[in-house]
Structure 1
Amino acid sequence: MQSLKIILLSTAFNGLTQRAWLDLRQSGHRPSVVLFTSEDEVCRQIEQADADLVICPFLKDRVPEQLWRHPTRPVIIIHPGIVGDRGASALDWAISNNLERWGVTALQAVEEMDAGPVWSTWEFKVPAQVRKSELYNGPVADAAIHCIRDVVEKFGSDFVPVPLDYSKPQVRGRLQPNMKQDDRSFSWHDSANFIKRCIDAADGQPGVLASLAGGQYYLYDAHLDSRSGTPGELLAVHDDAVLVACGDRSLWIGSLKRKARPGTEHFKLPARHVLAGQLDGVPHLDWSVASEPFSDEAYQPIRYRESGHVGELTFEFYNGAMSTEHCQRLVSALQWAKARDTQVLLFKGGRGAFCNGVHLNVIQAAPVPGLEAWNNIQAIDDVCKELLSARQLVVSGLTGNAGAGGLMLALAADVVLARANTLYNPHYKSMGLYGSEYWTYSLPRAVGHAMAHKLTEECLPINAFQALQMGMVQEVGPRCPDEFGLWLLQRANAVLTEPKYQALRERKANADPQLMQHCRNAELEQMHLDMVQNRHGFAEKCSGFVYKRKTCCTPQRLIEDWAVPQPDTLSA
């Protein structure tokens, strides 16, 4: 296939855009990214670049007419809906309506949003009890990649995109309004399942506005529980979540955002933090892996089970962010698990992201953010230390995407196993940080010093297949989360005896604790300069991330040479 010069026009270089960028590069094409800053700037960048095709994998803004009217360079929108579906709330409606099947459609941009002719479509089964972010990063992203590959294959052929025709029976989608808070509203007298679905459909953004504890908050991160009480009543607190009674059962709510008054801004935080001072009379339920290791509680952010010689510790923190307290709880759980009579410790993520490192929202909310960041980085280092010092052979299960310290946390294990098509960002520099989590020990150990330097300096994503080729992970398992969980446990049982893991077993036996400690100390010296003294603008970058400030320009590292205007182009 001919190598194409493709512009990826996107609102952000998010997970889907990263997957598209990596997939196109691996297919021999030359994608370059343009982040949507302003209409004039986007038009200037794209018109001056000599692109064959523009693909929009994640775009909240309307495509400028100047671009979609181009006679030979089509602009293709990747819409998270079935053929005929239109509107910005496609996934919100699909989850709210409890649909069993949904899809992604690649369509050509025209004047009317999402109404252009169809280039490709791909449908999938919607998992039960799925959150919007999980649906987006899982089946939607997979279907989007199928559509992008199909579009690229059809481009340059005699293919003619199919006009959208609602008279055809196979066109099942319809124009849907943007979902408003009135469409998401519920009463605490409603069933817990219904309320959870409302919250799941608004996961990530914008959340569901509801009355709670005498105030107005946006709700996120809901988990079913069997306890009951007066609807709307706060029944309990556990870790960071609060338990709220519903019409039949109850829901754990893990994260909240206070409704902003004019002139103020708020952001998501653990529910217990937001409601601090209002929980004095609410019972605190303090089960943990150490106190009740085989608990049957429905809500367990950290949980443990055993299978043969394998102890499996699963941690599941919202959006993959780990606060100081999360890390401290995980350290306690690991210390308990390490004392068990097992030979392998399987350390795995939950159903969302594996881990993305320190909790930037909690850091931003602290009275002195730099000091909270300093506490947080030392706490996550302690988690890594527990993995590095385990008597058992430690296996990390990368169940989802991972970035920065979250990926380095996984690399502290002896064996790393990855779920197919997951994404990793093995760098810190773009956040103004040197990095910690023993990365100067674990990353070179996995990929060599030259590659470790390249990865941390280039600040580009890689996928599970590339990580396998580099030696960062040892095996890649099924994409389906349930199948991956079964495969992961089976592989964890095999690492003790399989010859291919002999070298890793010997490496563990010959590990140098003094070198590990030296790496940690040297990293923390640099991180103190970054987090406490703000050497490279971490404070401003953290604030921009938390408050979701729009990017001012496309990072140079994402722009290909062919997309940079030449002097004669500029003068013309």
Structure 2
Amino acid sequence: MIDVETDATRSIRTVTLARPEARNALTVEGLADLETAIDDAEASVIYLQGRGPAFCAGADLAAVSDLDGDRERAGEFARLGQRVARTIEESPAVVVAGIDGPARGGGLELALACDVRVGTPDSTYGEPGVTFGLFGAWGGTVRLPRVLGEGDALEFALSGRTVDAEEALRMGLISRLEEEPRTVAESIAANATDAMAVLKRRIRDDRERATQERLEAQAFGDLVAAHADDIDSVLE
């Protein structure tokens, strides 16, 4: 479930991941709704947040389990997540992630697609899929080394470890640490819309991503097929 609210000045659209009972994990329907919420925005700034004690747990593991180890369906699920992340990245609006609580797997990858990531002191970050035979496949293998550098990206992804807000700031996973992340979105929204749009296009220019994402989705499909039983055991 995705909640959308635009402020009276129409300068900030707030998009809230609203499945707190599931730590805002995303199903196929949730990803589609998120894509629409981003794509339909006319505001100059989009503020993405989670409801409740988590930002986003990533893909709903029950939805991954329902793929029944089918490579093609798993690849389609990965490509949907990649498309949503690209919609965030390519939006003409500046997208600010306000991260409070856990950002895991696909949830972290969606945050990586945002232009600015602001964490609270209670935020935590991790790519735990490797512990049960998967990895986040929503563009993370493309964006993580771009954000962290290859060495830190490899250590972080291969270890499956969780980092706290201070370490995330040091690593560059987040760009700011604030008690109230929305204040950063509000300060950005005061700037010239056209200048921000040009800056975003130029800084975001990346022409080799499509091939990398295609291979990422294929690899995800292979792993879902190989680890279907392991995925089910995590849900038990």
State the TM bucket, normalised to the shorter chain: 0.7 to 0.9
Q: Which residue of 43, 68, 87 maps to 1:368?
A: 68
Distance in 1 of aligned mates of 2:135 and 2:57: 15
Distance in 1 of aligned mates of 2:93 and 2:122: 28
- When the two chains are superposed, the root-mean-square deviation of aligned CA atoms in Å is 2.6
Deviation at 1:496, TM superposition (A): 5.7
1:358–1:376 Cα contact (<8 Å) kept = no
1:405–1:435 Cα contact (<8 Å) kept = yes
Task: After superposition, give the CA deviation of every residue in 1:152-200 in whole Å (9 maximum; x if it has no partner).
Answer: xxxxxxxxxxxxxxxxxxxxxxxxxxxxxxxxxxxxxxxxxxxxxxxxx
Aligned residues: 229
- The aligned counterpart of 1:122 is none
Deviation at 1:367, TM superposition (A): 7.1
Deviation at 1:418, TM superposition (A): 0.7
Letter aligned with residue 220 of structure 2: M
Distance in 2 of aligned mates of 1:301 and 1:345: 14
Letter aligned with residue 235 of structure 2: V
Deviates more, 1:426-435 or 1:382-391: 426-435
- The aligned counterpart of 1:304 is 5
1:303–1:315 Cα contact (<8 Å) kept = no
- The aligned counterpart of 2:30 is 326
Task: After superposition, give the CA deviation of every residue in 1:212-246 in whole Å (9 maximum; x if it has no partner).
Answer: xxxxxxxxxxxxxxxxxxxxxxxxxxxxxxxxxxx
Unaligned runs of 5+ in 1: 1-299, 479-486, 548-572
TM-score (norm 1): 0.37
Q: Which residue of 506, 525, 536 maps to 2:218?
A: 525
Q: Does residue 89 of structure 2 align to residue 388 of structure 1?
A: yes
- The aligned counterpart of 1:545 is 234
Deviation at 1:376, TM superposition (A): 2.9
Distance in 1 of aligned mates of 2:212 and 2:76: 18
Deviation at 1:395, TM superposition (A): 0.7
SS of the residue 1:514 aligns to: coil
SS of the residue 2:40 aligns to: helix
Distance in 2 of aligned mates of 1:539 and 1:511: 36
Deviation at 1:362, TM superposition (A): 3.0
Distance in 1 of aligned mates of 2:160 and 2:94: 31
Q: Does residue 216 of structure 2 align to residue 515 of structure 1?
A: no
Letter aligned with residue 112 of structure 2: L
2:100–2:122 Cα contact (<8 Å) kept = no
Unaligned runs of 5+ in 2: none
Query: Structure 2 vs 1, CA of residues 373 and 346 (structure 1 numbering), >3 Å: closer, same or farther?
Result: same
SS of the residue 1:429 aligns to: helix
Deviation at 1:488, TM superposition (A): 2.6
Distance in 1 of aligned mates of 2:158 and 2:149: 14
Distance in 2 of aligned mates of 1:477 and 1:335: 27
Q: Which residue of 176, 180, 183 maps to 1:475?
A: 176
Query: Structure 2 vs 1, CA of residues 332 and 497 (structure 1 numbering), >3 Å: closer, same or farther?
Result: closer
- The aligned counterpart of 1:492 is 185
Deviation at 1:497, TM superposition (A): 6.8
Q: Which residue of 142, 146, 151 maps to 1:441?
A: 142
Distance in 2 of aligned mates of 1:489 and 1:458: 31
Distance in 2 of aligned mates of 1:321 and 1:373: 17
- The aligned counterpart of 1:316 is 18
Q: Does residue 156 of structure 2 align to residue 455 of structure 1?
A: yes
Distance in 1 of aligned mates of 2:69 and 2:63: 8
SS of the residue 1:353 aligns to: coil
- The aligned counterpart of 1:424 is 125
More helix by share: 2
**Higher RCO, 1 vs 2 (CA within 8 Å, ≥6 residues apart):** 2
TM-score (norm 2): 0.86
Task: After superposition, give the CA deviation of every residue in 1:322-361 in whole Å (9 maximum; x if it has no partner).
Answer: 1111111211222112xx1x22111111113211221112
Percent identical pairs in the alignment equals 21
2:98–2:182 Cα contact (<8 Å) kept = no
Q: Which has the larger radius of gyration?
A: 1
Q: Which residue of 79, 85, 108 maps to 1:407?
A: 108
Task: After superposition, give the CA deviation of every residue in 1:49-68 in whole Å (9 maximum; x if it has no partner).
Answer: xxxxxxxxxxxxxxxxxxxx
